[in-house]
Amino acid sequence: MRLNIVILDRETLGRDLDIEPLRKLGDVMEYANTLPSETRDRIKDAHIVISNKVVLDKDTMQHSKNLRLICIAATGMNNVDLEGAKELGIEVKNVTNYSTNSVVQHTFAMLFYLLEHLKYYDNVVSSQLWTISGLFTDLSRPFFEISGKKWGIIGLGTIGLEVAKVATSFGAEVSYFSTSGLNQNSTYTKKELEELLKSSDIISIHAPLNENTLNLINDTNLPLLKNKAILLNLGRGGIINETDLAYELNRREIYAGLDVLSTEPIELDNPLMSIEHKDRLLITPHIAWTSVEARERLLSTIVEHIKEFKKEVQW
């Protein structure tokens, strides 16, 4: 008997990604995306479900009598009722460490864009202002070097550690804040949050969203940031209070790069959409994890999970 494999949000894998390895394992039904009202019907005959962000609760799963395996096309597992799946005898597998290189690279891409005012200078050339000036260079937006600056990392996990290594290679002095309080890394200086925010020229967030990190950065500690400091969030939306950040960006010269937001896609009434000083903010649509290589690793791991499953149940 052939496996019925259902992909609930194919668009999150990217149309450039070849899913032929999945087709070799069973009959694949793919949906670009799936609304909550559509989930139950779409998985009712599935043996295996692949989902990135589509929610799978116990009520939905228990109507799928053949469902034996859920492959989460991500690291985070909060979109699946894990206890419910366990009660129903459904195995749940996620994918870890596939996007580290991609996220680290995007961290620095966002940093350089803000640090060197690249949007401004691109416009200076395209608008012909440089040509009109008659000067061989343009010093109207000074930028500093990473070397010798202090870089604070919030969340020194796998990704945070790699960012620390690259930052150090640029000559930055790295410190970190442990959101759990449990991380004890002897290579870098551990600081309390307020001390890290006060002392750092660049701050990057690489932490999960949980009760310790929800609204971690807010109106009580954003004023602690140095003038011209750069704050980057590549962890999870909700760690930074976006209303408070918008206020601070309007109030004084700090910079922020966000790849994650509390609600995605961003809502039109999000205060970050209407800040006065737009050059102080860069938002990318949750793409840090999406390099071609990262998505290939993601799919490869999902394929391996399914192969292991087939061996276990002798399908």
Sign of CA dihedral 307, 308, 312, 313: negative
Please confirm, yes or no, whether 162 is among the known catalytic residues: no
**How many C-beta atoms surround the C-beta of residue 114 within 10 A?**
21
Q: What is the largest CA-CA distance in the chain?
A: 74
Please confirm, yes or no, whether 264 is among the known catalytic residues: yes
Q: Active site residue: 87, 145, 253, 264, which one?
A: 264
Strand partners, 202: 151, 230
Please confirm, yes or no, whether 296 is among the known catalytic residues: no
* 203 and 231 Cβ atoms separated by less than 8 Å: yes
Q: Active site residue: 68, 106, 206, 236, which one?
A: 236
Residue 91 phi, psi dihedral angles, 5° rounding = -80, 140
> What letter would DSSP give residue 148?
T
Cα distance between the two ends of the chain: 8
Q: Active site residue: 47, 117, 206, 286, which one?
A: 286
Question: Which residues are tagged catalytic?
Answer: 236, 264, 286
